[in-house]
Amino acid sequence: MPSHQFHPTILREYDIRGIIGETLSAADAYAIGRALGTVCRTNGGTTACVGRDGRLSSPELEAATVRGLADCGLAVTRVGLGPTPMLYYAQKARQADVAVMITGSHNPPSHNGFKMMMAGKPFFGPAIANLGTVAAAGAFAEGQGTVEDQPMLVAYVERLLQDWDGGDRPLTVVWDAGNGAAGEAMSLLVDKLPGRHVLLYADIDGMFPNHHPDPTDPHTLEDLIARVRQENADLGIAFDGDGDRIGIVDSSGRILWGDQILQILAEDVLRAHPGATIIADVKASQGLFDEVARMGGTPLMWKTGHSLVKTKMAETGAPLAGEMSGHIFFADKYYGFDDALYAAVRFLGIVARMTEPLTQRAARMPRMINTPELRFDCPDEKKFAVVEAVRAVVKAQAADLSEVDGVRVRTADGWWLLRASNTQAVLVARAEADSAGHLAETCAALEAVVGQALHSAGLPVPAALIPAALLEIHA
């Protein structure tokens, strides 16, 4: 095929994402298959796995990607419709040299994209950018590959069930797939688990007619919370659009955020692996890192991004990691990739073995007050410079800071964070403190230094980076 130019916005840090009919097409999918297949062949690879989510555009993109890989001479296995972790599992089970998931994750229905692995490792950063270079050159590998249909959903669910360790205690659980790609796997899974299970929106529908599938957004959990209370359930579990992120609510309807879920999982893992490294991203609560240390583990703060976390896990040998976004990664008994359904099985096992309700366990967690993740626009070409300017200011103040991912400044009463998004033209901020008053002070310090940096970069300074309403919630 001739050379191909991708829209400049679709090759991202961790994956490929675009808007169907605007920035992403079947022709792009074919070129991605050809470029990825060329890289695979160059590295000596011969096999590929391809899966897809339930978006309306996914069948067409999947078919084009398969053709592109096969036209490079690869033996391609189509693993079918399911969550992204099913594709990761298929790669491990079949030892495929390259794996591609067609998914728009939790983005709107008009969006779609690609998540990839190469040689059993995450494919991200410069490797994704290189696909654009390969496609632009048009020097694709040639060959007559093969295509085989081998659905992996049943085998994947059977693997999830292998690590159930909750015995026969009959929990009542409400599950919400949000009409995303995890729906069928979720239905098969609960049929084999003890207890009573109530399913919400398990049918896969790429238009997401009931609510957006993003468990980090409290509004998307409203139906789950209401049903947990109605059913007097022990807990509720929600998944994002492609099943690699989890959300949990307890029997009172209280949301457990990513770092709180990780804290409960870490307590269990550390019993089996005393002293082990537990990784969390830079947005996680200080309470999590302190609790991991108190429980005898080695807490490690790392960069945000599922590919970066998986890479760090492999480097450190950590058995468990997590992000505030709900990505949970188990290397203990599992493969080290983010799998929300597997995390649900492990979490339910812990709850089934608890001698107290989940609500009481959650109530014993360290009490900190924090803002949600705050995002404000900043041009791509200036966002990293703004973070550098902030770093210079806080260094001059001899602040206690972490530079793992942006700037995280620890104060006597809490901390604040500023980082540049790797996927959007925004800056991301978050703050936490031990009281409402100290949170207001921490946010004021964040606003002052960010305002100074924006001004020095010639950018407009918002009247208030931290909405006053957020602080009023805790007042």
Reported as half-sphere exposure (CB side, CA atoms, 13 A), residue 306 has a value of 25
Rounded Cα gap, residues 219 and 221, in angstroms:
5
Reported as half-sphere exposure (CB side, CA atoms, 13 A), residue 345 has a value of 25
Chain length of the chain: 475
Residue 265 · residue 349 · CB < 8 Å: no
Q: Residue 322 belongs to what H/E stretch?
A: strand 320-322
Rounded Cα gap, residues 277 and 296, in angstroms:
10
Q: Which of 57, 58, 105, 251 is catalytic?
A: 105
Q: Residue 418 belongs to what H/E stretch?
A: strand 414-420
CA dihedral 12, 24, 148, 144 (to 10 degrees): -90
Rounded Cα gap, residues 58 and 285, in angstroms:
36
Rounded Cα gap, residues 410 and 442, in angstroms:
9
Q: How many CB atoms lie within 10 A of CB 468?
A: 11
Residue 362 · residue 253 · CB < 8 Å: no
Residue 435 · residue 471 · CB < 8 Å: no
Contacts of 204 (CB under 8 A, 6+ apart): 54, 81, 177, 179, 180, 181, 183, 184
The closest of 161, 219, 226, 218 to 200, measured between CA atoms, is 226
The closest of 108, 113, 111 to 208, measured between CA atoms, is 108
Q: Is 105 a catalytic residue?
A: yes
Rounded Cα gap, residues 97 and 6, in angstroms:
24
Catalytic residues: 105
